[in-house]
Amino acid sequence: MIKKQIILFGAPGAGKGTQAKILASKLNVPHISTGDILREAVSKGTELGEKAKTIMEAGELVPDEIMGGIIKEVLMSEKCKEGYILDGFPRTTKQAELLDQILSHIDLDYPVVIELNVEDEIIVHRLSMRRMCSNCGYIVNLESLENQDVCPNCGAKNSFIKRKDDDEAVIRNRLKVYHESTKPVLKYYEGKTEIIIVDGTQSVEQVSELIISKLS
């Protein structure tokens, strides 16, 4: 039987969001992105959502306790009864410990951890080639486009802009934070659950097929 409780892990730019959407569709389970569930909790006006909103509006990071509470609400909801794909949580060993407590409380087993492994220099190159259409917000990689002057989504000409997030200095700083704070989470899960390491430099289709075959 294919495993459907998954933590998707990897550096920024490794392709987690893309693979999470594909896997969610193939396995028919929800893709739980921390950004998305925060926005959902805020829009629904839940007690935790209201607390998070106040903190976010002040420009501060949402504390682990509130984030954990929101994750718990989602994992306990009807939509997660068949499984889930967690993307963006846990980011630290403290959050991993918090997730352990949540899963224990709602009587769920450890999820499988899937790491998309991509070398830093490949990520720097990949993200620095990323552009956003200023007309429709569509994200592209310039190397994958036949015509780099036209947005393939809306047809706008010369509309591509480079986001601050995709400047090399910013990318390298995000990678530094990942290696210092998030990478140790993999060590935390060693011996606790199955860890599947996948080469994230392959094509999107190859990576998703490899993940599915290893989950079976």
Positions marked catalytic: 16, 91, 130, 163, 174
Q: From CA 42, how far away is CA 67, in angstroms rounded? A: 12
Cβ–Cβ < 8 Å for 41, 48:
yes
Query: Read out DSSP for 127-168?
Result: HHTEEEETTT--EEEGGG-S-TTB-TTT--BS-EE--GGGSH
- Single out the residue of 97, 58, 75 nearest to residue 5, CA to CA: 75
Residues 6 or more apart whose CB falls under 8 angstroms from that of 182 comprise 11, 91, 92
Q: From CA 122, how far away is CA 149, in angstroms rounded? A: 24
